[in-house]
Structure 1
Amino acid sequence: MSKADYPYPEDEFDAISPDAPTGVHRAPRSAWSRWWPFVLVLVLVPALAYGAVAFLSRTGDVPLVGGPTQGQEEPGGEELPADGTGEGEATPEGEGQDEETPPETETTTPPPAPQLDVPVVVLNGARVSGLAGRVAEELEGAGFVDVKPDNATEPLPPISTVYVASPDLQTTGELVATTVGVSAIVVDPEQAGLAVTLVLVTDPDA
């Protein structure tokens, strides 16, 4: 609204003091003052990013695309020697290896030799005449020096048996059984008597 269009008469409030400011106006801003912050951001940010990447690449901490960080090994991978053969340093001989222990040798005590001088009694329980005497002669021919034939009394074993008085006479009883042709050998001091007793219930030669 202009002064000419003002419908009211002037009063003391419309009078302007000569000492009062008559109006202050801000000078219009130039185009450069409006755009320079954006230009500064466009220039400064890429420069800072480039500097950061260059610094990190020198320290080896820049992650590689599709791979592990520089200076780090692949997970689960093994370092290869410089020659690429895949073989590490050879372990010094004898280090980290179990020493071969010689196999244990089992020591077996040989069985005692048959005692040909022990008394051997041959009992005839087969009711075959002269059986005990004939078998006694066979044992004397095998080297036994103290053989006595006799008749057996009840009870009789189910098969012809060689009785020995102790385990140390086992080989002596085996020689008696082999010579006569009997398979049963029993350790029984009561039935064996002094040393060895052969009870015949059948004729071994029959």
Structure 2
Amino acid sequence: MSTYSHEDYPEDEFDRAGRNRIPQGVHRAPRSVWRALLPVIAVVVLAPLLAWGAITLLGGTGGQAPSATATQEATAEPTEPAESAPAGEPTAETAPESAEPTAEPTQEETTPAAPVDFTAGIVVLNGAGINGLAGNLVGELSSAGFNNSVAADYRAGAPATTTLYYNNAELLPTAQQVGETLGIANLVESASATSSTDIAVVLRADYAG
């Protein structure tokens, strides 16, 4: 078997094309640094631009974001309406003024009357001209509880009518009780007429008993 060399044939266009070829196949040229960083740069730069564009779009009249004041007003709790007075009942403004209460009349304070003094000294003076009249009246006073009573005759001209004298105002209840017992209504307070006793009874002709 004979051997041959490429030098046995003259060089043609195929040989020249093959000589100028470079290796081709699965081996790829290495990527540049800029091509590796391009996606990261795109995210960093484009993301803020897109966000700014969205905010600008919403800032228009069609999509205006609510202000802080409007938000506070919307979230504020609704106030309860004032309670209205039930129908038919007068309110404080329309209620008729009631008449001022009148003070109830109070009873006048009175000083309690002094008790009847059954030990008071009593003298019955007979100026009526009837014998034994004064003694009879002393007996009536004793029956009523007045045991300090005496009878005597009376010669003076006054008083003209039957009169019961008592020494002071404290003896008025006692004098009234004596006058009721003897049937005498003419009572006179006089210290001079009763200087020697508490009560003096002067009988005159008008005494009916």
TM-score for the superposition, normalised by structure 2: 0.51
The 8 Å contact of residues 161 and 184 in structure 1, kept in 2 or not, is answered as yes
User: Of 169, 172, 175, which aligns to 1:173?
Assistant: 175
Q: Equivalences for 1:124-163 in 2 at 5 Å?
A: 124-163=126-165
The 8 Å contact of residues 127 and 203 in structure 2, kept in 1 or not, is answered as yes
> For 1:96 and 1:138, how far apart are their aligned partners in 2?
63
Aligned AA (1:124): N
1:191 equivalent to 2:193? Answer: yes
How far did residue 156 of structure 1 move?
2.2
The 8 Å contact of residues 180 and 204 in structure 1, kept in 2 or not, is answered as no
Aligned AA (1:186): V
Aligned AA (2:175): G
> For 2:181 and 2:90, how far apart are their aligned partners in 1?
71
How far did residue 135 of structure 1 move?
0.6
Give the number of aligned pairs. 124
Distance 1:177 1:100, change over 3 A: closer
How far did residue 101 of structure 1 move?
4.1
> For 1:105 and 1:91, how far apart are their aligned partners in 2?
38
How far did residue 176 of structure 1 move?
1.1
Distance 1:183 1:100, change over 3 A: closer
Larger Rg: 1 or 2? Answer: 2
TM-score for the superposition, normalised by structure 1: 0.51
> For 2:121 and 2:178, how far apart are their aligned partners in 1?
12
> For 1:92 and 1:101, how far apart are their aligned partners in 2?
26
Q: Deviations over 1:119-150 (max 9, x none)?
A: 00000001111111001101111110100100
Identity %: 29
How far did residue 203 of structure 1 move?
6.6
Aligned AA (1:197): A
CA RMSD of aligned residues (A): 3.4
> For 1:124 and 1:97, how far apart are their aligned partners in 2?
66
Q: Deviations over 1:94-137 (max 9, x none)?
A: x9874664443322222111111010000000111111100110
The 8 Å contact of residues 136 and 148 in structure 1, kept in 2 or not, is answered as yes
> For 1:92 and 1:118, how far apart are their aligned partners in 2?
70
The 8 Å contact of residues 128 and 203 in structure 1, kept in 2 or not, is answered as no
Q: Equivalences for 1:1-206 in 2 at 5 Å?
A: 89-91=91-93, 98=100, 101-193=103-195, 194-202=197-205, 204-205=207-208
Q: Deviations over 1:151-189 (max 9, x none)?
A: 112132121110000011111111111111111000011
> For 1:188 and 1:151, how far apart are their aligned partners in 2?
20
Distance 1:88 1:130, change over 3 A: closer
Structure 1: state its 5+ residue gaps.
1-84
How far did residue 91 of structure 1 move?
4.9
Distance 1:96 1:175, change over 3 A: closer
